[in-house]
Structure 1
């Protein structure tokens, strides 16, 4: 049985999407910096696809026309189309190096994310200040 024309349209559109989007579109090629860190771009990819078509009749009796064309071996006139779209949005950069892994986001909330990343360091510094203050007080008490 011959392939219906809509199948060819769909196959072509899907192959085009497959060519446009691969794993390197989502997780980009790593780039090594002079200090040895590796930066990996990360993106969000969205795809859309549509295909449609219809068979046309030239006479008033469609069923009779189909029977005649099937007997003759001719195909029914067909018209159709397909389309696809791909959207790629950068999400951020994955930075691997200096014994840690960080995600540097691209969006406007980067300040909040950066504060969350830095919070443990700030807390440990504040703890260190209190511990040094307590040690100084203990030394003053001992000297008195």
Structure 2
């Protein structure tokens, strides 16, 4: 069975969306500064698309292969934060409003993990020195 024209229309639309929205769009390429700090931009991406088409079925045999269709897509990319990696520590710099409790909690996770790790290391007993 021959491919219907709407399939080609949808395939082209989806290929273009894939080109616009990939993993590098959400977590951007790392930026390294002169002092060794690495900055990773993080974005929120939302997109949608629509495709439609119709076959023209007329009484005239010449119209039997006529097809009309269209498609459209929209992409919204909004920067939301930066991950800053310096001296083995990761910090989140949030760009959006921090009034949302969930956003604030997510922003604090790297710092919380760091503090808990420091407490665990601090509480570990020192290895006894062996006498020789």
TM-score, with normalisation over the residues of structure 2? 0.68
Instruction: Please state how far the C-alpha of 1:32 moved relative to its aligned partner.
Output: 1.3
Q: Is 1:36 aligned with 2:36?
A: yes
State how far apart, in whole Å, the 1-side matches of 2:87 and 2:15 are: 42
- Matched residue, 1:90: 79
Instruction: Please state how far the C-alpha of 1:6 moved relative to its aligned partner.
Output: 0.4
Instruction: Please state how far the C-alpha of 1:75 moved relative to its aligned partner.
Output: 4.3
Cα pair 2:9 2:70 within 8 Å, conserved = yes
Instruction: Please state how far the C-alpha of 1:18 moved relative to its aligned partner.
Output: 1.2
- Matched residue, 2:118: none
State how far apart, in whole Å, the 1-side matches of 2:54 and 2:34 are: 59
- Matched residue, 2:68: 79
- Matched residue, 1:49: 49
- 1:123-134 to 2 correspondence within 5 Å? none
- Matched residue, 2:95: 106
Which protein is richer in helix relative to its size?
1
State how far apart, in whole Å, the 1-side matches of 2:94 and 2:69 are: 42
- The SS at the match of 2:97 is coil
- Matched residue, 2:122: none
- The SS at the match of 2:34 is coil
Structure 2: 5+ residue stretches without partners: 113-132
> Deviating runs (4+, > 4 A) in structure 1?
none
- Matched residue, 2:25: 25
Cα pair 2:56 2:64 within 8 Å, conserved = no
TM-score, with normalisation over the residues of structure 1? 0.63
- 1:109-120 to 2 correspondence within 5 Å? 109=98, 113=104, 117=108
Q: CA RMSD in A?
A: 2.5
Alignment: residue pair count: 105
